[in-house]
Amino acid sequence: MSADIDPFYAISISGLAHRLKAEGRSVIHMEFGQPSTGAPKRAIEAAHAVLDSEAMGYWESAPLKARICRHYAEAYGVEVSPNRITLTCGASPALVLALSSTFKPGDVIAMARPGYVAYRNTVKALHMVPLEIACGAETRFQLTAQTLAALEPAPAGVIIASPANPTGTVIPKDELAAIAKVCRERGIRIVSDEIYHGLTYAEPAHSTLEFEPRAIVVNSFSKYFSMAGWRLGWLIVPPEQAARSVAYMGALFLTAPSLAQHAALVAMDCRDELEGHLDTYRANRSLLLEALPKLGLEKIAPPDGAFYIYADVGRLTDDSLAFCKQLLGDTGVATAPGVDFDPVDGKRFIRMSFAVSTPEIEDALSRLQPWFERAWAKAAA
């Protein structure tokens, strides 16, 4: 029996945005969490060289897996052996592998609400049971060790994300350690989505592997490395689960894209260019944090990392999808409805991605200011 899952409404917003652009409208895409920049220049040059010299085929890059291991040693002080890493066709397949190779149908998987739409949808599609736990400003929109300790019965697993989508909030080091301790004591398997690592604006994010060696980690080249279209990610599992992960990957997806693997190996050493992207996001974040309260959007999640603003528009609407469509039609600024990330309370939130150029942020704000002035005037009438 197939499982019913919710649509990803931001896709419909994006479709409308592209139709408006085809009609000649000026559109600013802030609806998707993808960098507007491309892969690093040297990575693209490497890809061209491979295209000119190799036929390619089904392949898993041993040098890339070794380089990822080095990254974990340098960034987190964690030793990861190459056999624990499975290269995947992006983070979404990595999540499918993580869940399907670890849990069984009927298992309860806890997660924060709001959270990335694919968490609950993938869990449901695999005939598991998502346990969405409302998380508000008082916990920085994140699960806590105390919350997990109080769940009865204990879920089979939990998905955590730090920095998180849609809020950008980061779980502090001490809290992450406490979550790991509670999960270890209660037999809760951790799936840690670390796709936004490298994109923080104060302290670096910590990997769950620092506190729980048996955590399952999902990551990708899509965000920090600016390679969303290359569809390449990785999954880290405990040693005893490595063969199972490889078997699932081969059966479901064969291998990750060969060309992307060649490019990614080079991209991992293009830090100067990639840190320049982070500087742009930091500038965009500052512009939005200064401007949005002046537009009446004073309640936002603290964007410690990633490249999102999750803003409360509840005084203007109780239908965030209709709100985003109207905003797009009137201004050409595409945003994502909060209902994607929270089917209960998300009707009063929208998410803006600031992974675009700074001139685009400035243009968007110039369009949004008069629109929100009119919206507030209409609400007060």
Which of 41, 63, 46, 8 is CA-nearest to residue 340?
8
* Closest C-alpha among 240, 223, 241, 245 to residue 232: 223
Tokens representing 98 are 């993580």
Q: Does domain 9-39+271-375 have CATH number 3.40.50.620?
A: no
Closest C-alpha to 83, from 240, 213, 198, 199: 240
* pLDDT given for residue 380 in this prediction: 85
Cα separation, 271 vs 277, whole angstroms: 10
Q: What is the pLDDT of residue 1?
A: 61
Exposed, middle or buried by CB within 10 Å (0-12, 13-18, 19+), for 268?
A: middle
Contact 351, 166 (CB under 8 A): yes
Nearest to 115 by CA among 314, 338, 297: 338
> Please, what CATH class does the domain formed by 56-267 belong to?
alpha beta
The type of residue at 108 is V
* Short-list 213, 167, 158, CA closest to 191: 158
Q: Show Cβ contacts of residue 154 under 8 Å, excluding neighbours closer than 6 positions.
A: 186, 187, 188
Q: What is the pLDDT of residues 89-135, one digit of tens each?
A: 999 999 999 999 999 999 999 999 999 999 999 999 999 999 999 99
Q: Extract the residue ranges of the chain whose pLDDT is less than 50.
A: none
Query: Distance between CA atoms of 249 and 251, rounded to whole angstroms?
Result: 6
Omega into 293 within 30° of 0, i.e. cis?
no
pLDDT tens per residue, range 291-300: 999 999 999 9
Q: Which long-range contacts (CB under 8 A, 24 or more apart) does 151-154 make?
A: 151/110, 154/186, 154/187, 154/188
Q: Which residue has the tokens 């802030």?
A: 30
pLDDT value of residue 2? 72
Q: For residues 149 and 186, is the Cβ–Cβ distance under 8 A? A: yes
Please tell me the number of Cα atoms within 13 Å of 261 on its side-chain side.
20
In the chain, domain spans: 9-39+271-375, 56-267
Amino acid at 173: K
Structure-block tokens of residue 73: 């040693």
Comparing C-alpha atoms, which of 43, 38, 88, 96 is closest to residue 65?
88
Q: Do domains 9-39+271-375 and 56-267 have the same CATH topology?
A: yes
CA gap 250, 206 in Å, rounded: 30
What pTM was computed for the model?
0.95
- For CA atoms 100, 105, 109, 115, the dihedral sign is positive
pLDDT at 5: 82
Sorted by sequence, the CB contacts under 8 Å of residue 240 that are 6+ apart come out as: none
